[in-house]
Amino acid sequence: MREFTIALIGNPNVGKSAIFNELTGANAHVGNWPGVTVEKKEGKFVYNDTKINVVDLPGIYSLTASSIDERIARDYIVREKPDLVVCIVDSTNLVRNLYLFVLLKELGAKTLLVLNMIDLVENKIEFDESKLSESLKTRIVKTSATKKIGIDELKKAIYEEFHKDQGEFFVNYGKDIESSIKRIESLLNSTELSYNKRFLAIKLLEQDSVISEELKRLKKENIVESALLEVNKLEGIYSDLETEIIEKRYALIEGVIKSSTKNLVSIEDRLTFSDKVDKIVTNRYLGLPIFAIVMLIVFKATFTLGGFFTGYINQFFDWFGDFLSIYIQNPILQSFIKDGLIGGVGTVVAFLPNILILFLFLSFLEDVGYMARAAFVMDKLMHSIGLPGRAFIPLILGFGCNVPAIMATRTIADERDRILTILINPFMSCTARLPIYVLLTGIFFNNNHPELIIFSLYILGIFVAIFSAKLFRSTIPKLKGKVSFLIMELPVYRMPTFKAVSVHTWERTKEFLKKAGTIILLGVLLVWLLSSLPFGVDYGSEESLVGMLGKFFAPILVPAGFGFWQAAVALIFGLLAKETVVGTMGTLFGGEENLSNSLTQLMTPLSAYTFMVMSLLYIPCLATIGVIYRETNSLKWTAFSILYSLLIGWLTATLIYQMFSLIWK
């Protein structure tokens, strides 16, 4: 069986992942690119007895290699030389999307162009495919991945393009620039770099630092110096050489589109549904209130709908624990099953409906296109207080899980901005904290708008992140400097398919269940063991090992309002995973019913709230600490993150408790 390799590439939000899933089905796996934490998706499919390997490259806008994603994509195409590069573009925004395609052709890649989301321009734009194909020197396939349109045609086109030659593609940059390109190309003939020589010459004129460093490594400093002389010469002709080169590419793109497409509706009629909605949701005055209302609705639904199912799950685990106790006579085994497994893990799993519903809403908002608008709306506010514009995308991801959110900072080119975003990301309230919120709001605020309490915690996390960013930017020398702006393309609104939302929701929920069956299970079993030792003490008493551990740290927590030793133990074991805070309490107090009764005796509504504040802000979980170290490659920044978050968590909880204690007296 013959074997070929293709690479999928495209801008973010063009449906690349959906096409990857349609091509590969279940024959896909996820790993990391060598040497970095960037996700690598690979799959395969068979067509006409030919095995076709599919590599999904990161979503990027250009091949400048200014970010890790761009570097990975460019290096893969140059060094691995896939047999075909399938460039996926959004049919509703060809001018912006075709810029990456032009760079691929200049790089010398053999291409296939996919016009995705074709259903959104039906009866609005008419394509002359043969003219478009001839102008861009590539085959064209029209698809709609969400509606499964054109997938079979795409597979056929991929197979056929392996056996065809494509004509030469050329962007004319004008007499002066072209003369400089030729002179640099003549010098590059002696180099060992596997890049297309014309592409290299253009990149040297654009002063691409990665290319320059590679040439210096090969002892070809003379080429870099000669290119710099050409740049200086051209800058005497053009006010901004890099802008001139970019505008020539866009001029070609606009010319190609004008000659090969026909608008079937007037400019007024082309004002899309997305444009009309964006006039409201991205309005400078309405945008922030709308975002707040949307998130409040999400939390209300999460608490109300999830709470309905959580109650029944708790009842089941209480009954199941009592049922097993009848048949298990050994007191140690009985305690292990009832207090350890059911009391600990069962208490956490009971909040699965809340997690599932929150993920369902977030997946829908992401797929429909609203979360990108939320980033746009928040950008001006973030920028004014020292946060980099591009940071808000990873921060939004932090509402799901801080680990992939911190990994997402790799798209931030400026090292200072990237480090700053990594340091503040753990303050975004991930879903691992949600079981803590739901448990305590259900006990102490059930009749007093619990969704507002949960919403306030998310807002508090955002404000602490903002405060910390401002503080770090103004006081830490390595983080001082200009703040970068957010430049992003807003995807069109589109109703996501039930399958797509379900898959995204299940993938995230599966991670929660995986943690419940591994890290959380190990954590609560360790708590149970320490609660049972030394032999002869009452289970979970102050004389047990876990009791002694809690009593040692409990005095530190007294100013924050929850100075009982079980709270200290729960927070300590919460370092394994934040859900373990609930599992630990369930283990120590013997299940959800006993837990509720015990906490009402040990806490007030105010101390319950400050405990949630501490759970939100104090040391991130071990997985997050690990990814902070991997992404910064620095023990110093990792230690700083741990110590600062512990301090800010304790100070904030203590400040809130002490202030409101005075007011309520």
Residue 409 CB coordination number (10 Å): 26
Q: Is 518 annotated as a binding residue?
A: no
Closest CA to 36 of 70, 87, 63, 62: 70
Q: Is 146 annotated as a binding residue?
A: yes
- Tokens encoding 607: 């101390």
Q: Is 14 annotated as a binding residue?
A: yes
Q: Is 43 annotated as a binding residue?
A: no
Residue 522 and residue 506: Cα distance in Å, rounded?
A: 23
Q: How far is CA 662 from the centre of its chain?
A: 41
DSSP letter string, 534-573:
STTSPTT-TTSHHHHHHHHHHHHHGGGT--SHHHHHHHHH
Q: Is 24 annotated as a binding residue?
A: yes
Instruction: Report yes or no: 360 and 501 within 8 Å, Cβ to Cβ.
Output: yes
Q: Is 256 annotated as a binding residue?
A: no
Question: Exposure string (b/e) for 466-484, b if CB count within 10 Å is 16 or more?
Answer: bbbbeebbeeeeebeeebb
Residue 579 and residue 577: Cα distance in Å, rounded?
A: 5
Dihedral-angle region of residue 25 (phi above 0 means left; psi in -120 to 50 means alpha; beta otherwise): left
Q: Is 321 annotated as a binding residue?
A: no
Q: At what angle do helices 241-260 and 175-188 cross, to 10 degrees?
A: 110
Q: Is 100 annotated as a binding residue?
A: no
Q: Is 442 annotated as a binding residue?
A: no
Residue 346 and residue 553: Cα distance in Å, rounded?
A: 27
Q: Is 654 annotated as a binding residue?
A: no
Residue 242 and residue 209: Cα distance in Å, rounded?
A: 14
Q: Is 56 annotated as a binding residue?
A: yes
Residue 375 and residue 270: Cα distance in Å, rounded?
A: 25
Which residues does residue 42 pair with via DSSP β-bridges, in sequence order? Answer: 29, 55
- For residue 271, report the phi and psi dihedrals to the nearest 5 degrees: -65, 105
Instruction: Report yes or no: 111 and 166 within 8 Å, Cβ to Cβ.
Output: yes
Instruction: Report yes or no: 262 and 126 within 8 Å, Cβ to Cβ.
Output: yes
Q: Give the start-end residues of each E strand in 258-361.
A: 261-263
**What's the alpha-carbon Rg for the chain, to the nearest Å?**
29
Q: Is 83 annotated as a binding residue?
A: no
Q: Is 35 annotated as a binding residue?
A: yes
Question: How far is residue 18 from each of residues 26, 116, 497, measured CA to CA in Å?
Answer: 13, 10, 11
CA 498, 504, 505, 509 torsion: positive or negative?
positive
Q: Is 579 annotated as a binding residue?
A: no
DSSP 3-state of 396: helix
Q: Is 476 annotated as a binding residue?
A: no
Q: Is 347 annotated as a binding residue?
A: no
Residue 304 and residue 450: Cα distance in Å, rounded?
A: 9
Q: Is 50 annotated as a binding residue?
A: no
Strands 2-10 and 50-56: parallel
Q: Is 119 annotated as a binding residue?
A: yes
Closest CA to 611 of 662, 657, 642: 657
Q: Is 16 annotated as a binding residue?
A: yes
- Mention every residue, 6+ apart, whose C-beta is less than 8 A from residue 263: 124, 125, 270
Q: Is 377 annotated as a binding residue?
A: no
Residue 512 and residue 518: Cα distance in Å, rounded?
A: 10
- Tokens encoding 89: 């573009």
Q: Is 448 annotated as a binding residue?
A: no
Residues tagged in the binding site annotation for Mg(2+): 21, 24-25
Numbered residues of the known binding site: 10-17, 21, 24-25, 35-39, 56-59, 116-119, 144-146
Query: Binding site residues for GTP, as ranges?
Result: 10-17, 35-39, 56-59, 116-119, 144-146
